[in-house]
């Protein structure tokens, strides 16, 4: 059985691709734009909804790789966190977090 590295980079279509070379992965992380979307919410922008590609699998071997993460910083939902597998899922997850943060009506 092939061991998974847990390290991912994005290809030209924003699809996660496993990377077995730690140096290559680190160099890619330094240069890449890994932000899917970030929005400030509230009258003075006191809440941040952030969705990023971490490049690490946060499934810990249970299910499909989860290299994307959305978090809410500040406000009533401070600390909210969700993870997913694809860029498209990450965009949807970000929109759902925006609703939770009160920025978008359901």
What are the tens digits of pLDDT across the range 65-94?
999 999 999 999 999 999 999 999 999 999
Residue 67 belongs to a domain:
yes
Residue 3 belongs to a domain:
no
Cα separation, 74 vs 72, whole angstroms: 6
pLDDT at 104: 65
Record the pTM: 0.88
The alpha-helical segments, DSSP class H, found in 1-106 are 22-31, 87-100
Residue 22 belongs to a domain:
yes
Domain range holding 42? Answer: 8-100
Residue 4 has pLDDT above 70, yes or no: no
Share of the chain above pLDDT 90, in %: 75
Domain count, the chain: 1
Weakest mean pLDDT among 4-8, 28-32, 79-83: 4-8
pLDDT band at 1 (very low <50, low <70, confident <90, very high): very low
pLDDT at 2: 45
CA proximity to 35, closest of 51, 47, 55? 51
């Amino acid at each position: 059985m092939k061991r998974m590295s847990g390290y991912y980079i994005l290809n030209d279509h924003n699809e996660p691709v496993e990377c077995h070379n730690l140096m290559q992965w680190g160099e890619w992380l330094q240069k890449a734009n890994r932000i899917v979307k970030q929005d400030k919410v509230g009258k003075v922008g006191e809440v941040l909804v952030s969705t990023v590609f971490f490049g690490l699998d946060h499934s810990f071997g249970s299910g499909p790789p989860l290299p994307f993460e959305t978090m809410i910083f500040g406000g009533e939902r401070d600390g909210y966190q969700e993870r997913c597998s694809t860029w498209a899922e990450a965009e949807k997850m970000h929109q759902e977090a925006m609703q939770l943060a009160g920025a978008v009506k359901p």
